[in-house]
Amino acid sequence: MAKPVRSHRYLSLAAAALTLCWLSAGLALSANAQQSERFDEFELHYSIVYTTFLSPEVAGEYGIARGRDKALLTLSVRDADAGETAGRPMTLTGRSWDLITGGDLNATEIREGRATYYIVPFEFLDREYRFFALRFKPEGAEQFYEFEFKTQLWRQ
């Protein structure tokens, strides 16, 4: 279950910095750029961001450990049929693993205005594949959805 982050006066600045970081990461690492998958009327957006792309201030604001072998999975879900542009809350569980380690996802929910998104910090092995298995239920949905993907990561 995701841990909520309460809004405060610095959240907008941190969220803007994280968004800028995600965009920069997507441009610099096209293989890890934001991607999306459709589940009925819902669209799940996901991306991987190396924590070395975060400034120490932004990482500290969210309690994110920076390092050459650390990254974030970012997640957001919206109702595409309704024309939503902001992410909505969801129930989220899952696992992540590589050849040696693995475990349950430890997601943090972030709310900024009407938008809700999730960050999941994890460590990775250099040049190895990282696997993710997600189970989520967007607010207002009648069912859970499952999604799996893998990505290859390099130490920064």
| DSSP conformational letter for 143 | S
CATH code, domain carrying 147: 2.60.40.3340
Task: Give how many domains the chain has, as a whole number.
Answer: 1
Question: Are the CB atoms for 21 and 14 separated by under 8 Å?
Answer: no
- Does pLDDT of 77 surpass 80? yes
pTM assigned to the model: 0.79
Domain that holds residue 58: 3-152
Give residue 3's pLDDT.
53
Q: pLDDT of 18-43, one tens digit each?
A: 554 444 344 344 345 679 999 999 99
Question: Are the CB atoms for 92 and 138 separated by under 8 Å?
Answer: no
For residue 97, the cross-strand partners are 102, 131
CA atoms within 13 Å, Cβ hemisphere of 139: 11
Give residue 33's pLDDT.
62
Q: pLDDT of 92-107, one tens digit each?
A: 999 999 999 999 999 9
Q: Give the SS3 label for residue 56.
A: helix
